[in-house]
């Protein structure tokens, strides 16, 4: 049940501050309230869901500007280290980044074809394709603490972008920025790969702030 509700959250079926009523969800899924309640408790740990005293659960509210700055600052630090470590294995990293780029390209194309008539599964597919590109770098960094830390932020990244309406509209921009990261891994120095990653995250922050 956790995964099914998570699908809805990541796919944009629920908006910021939407109430998540246990009895209503139980009727929709045709099950008892107990697994719904247990799933919501687990989802609170992702930061996508909040519990309100005497009112039940709701989808987390939009990020403040300060929260967005803080989140991107941490990502730049952690993923910058990951880029430096993964660059040492660029011969293995580059082919996987290319494959991830192709999946990302198809996901962006599907968003463009949908043109505002998205099913929530398509939106989640886009976010997954985008995030998978970054996960390759994290995996080859070979530091489980970095990977665990960034993975823990992944839901917050989604929350920031989706809540501000940049999840679909910045698809081509994010794709182009990931292409710059790939090109730096393939043809540039490690400092260029770090700079490309930092530039990408700074652009994500800028688009999110401008979406307010």
Helix (H) or strand (E) holding 58: strand 56-59
What distance in Å separates the CA atoms of residue 94 and residue 183, rounded to the nearest whole number? 9
Nearest alpha carbon to residue 138 among 98, 84, 192: 84
Residue tagged 């999946």 (tokens): 103
Find residue 49's DSSP bridge partners: 59
pLDDT at 136: 97
| Domains of the chain listed by start with CATH number | 1-59 (1.10.10.10), 65-211 (1.20.120.530)
pLDDT of residue 32: 94
pLDDT along the chain (212 residues), means of 10: 86 85 93 94 91 87 90 96 98 97 90 59 77 95 94 83 58 92 97 98 88 58
User: For tokens 């530039």, what's the residue?
Assistant: 199
What is the distance between the alpha carbons of residues 103 and 84, in angstroms, rounded to a whole number?
24
Please say whether the beta carbons of 112 and 190 come within 8 A. Answer: no
Tens-digit pLDDT profile for residues 153-165: 888 887 776 655 5
Task: Give the pLDDT of residue 141.
Answer: 97
The H or E element that residue 169 is part of is helix 166-169
């Amino acid at each position: 049940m956790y995964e099914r509700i998570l699908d809805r959250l990541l796919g944009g079926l629920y908006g910021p501050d939407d109430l998540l009523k246990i009895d209503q969800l139980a009727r929709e899924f045709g099950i008892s309230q107990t697994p719904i309640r247990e799933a919501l408790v687990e989802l609170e740990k992702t930061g996508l869901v909040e519990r309100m005293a005497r009112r039940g659960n709701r989808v987390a509210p939009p990020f403040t500007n300060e929260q967005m700055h803080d989140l991107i600052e941490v990502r730049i630090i952690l993923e910058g280290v990951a880029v430096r470590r993964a660059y040492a294995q660029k011969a293995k990293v580059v082919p996987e980044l290319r494959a991830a780029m192709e999946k990302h390209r198809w996901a962006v194309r599907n968003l463009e074809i949908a043109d505002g008539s998205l099913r929530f599964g398509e939106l989640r597919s886009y976010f997954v394709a985008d995030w998978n590109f970054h996960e390759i770098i994290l995996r080859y960094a070979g530091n489980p603490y970095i990977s665990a830390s960034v993975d823990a932020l992944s839901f917050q990244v989604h929350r920031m972008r989706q809540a501000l309406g940049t999840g679909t509209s910045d698809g081509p921009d994010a794709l182009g920025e990931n292409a710059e990261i790939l090109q730096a891994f393939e043809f540039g120095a490690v400092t260029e790969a770090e700079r490309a990653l930092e530039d990408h995250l700074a652009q994500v922050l800028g688009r999110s702030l401008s979406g307010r």
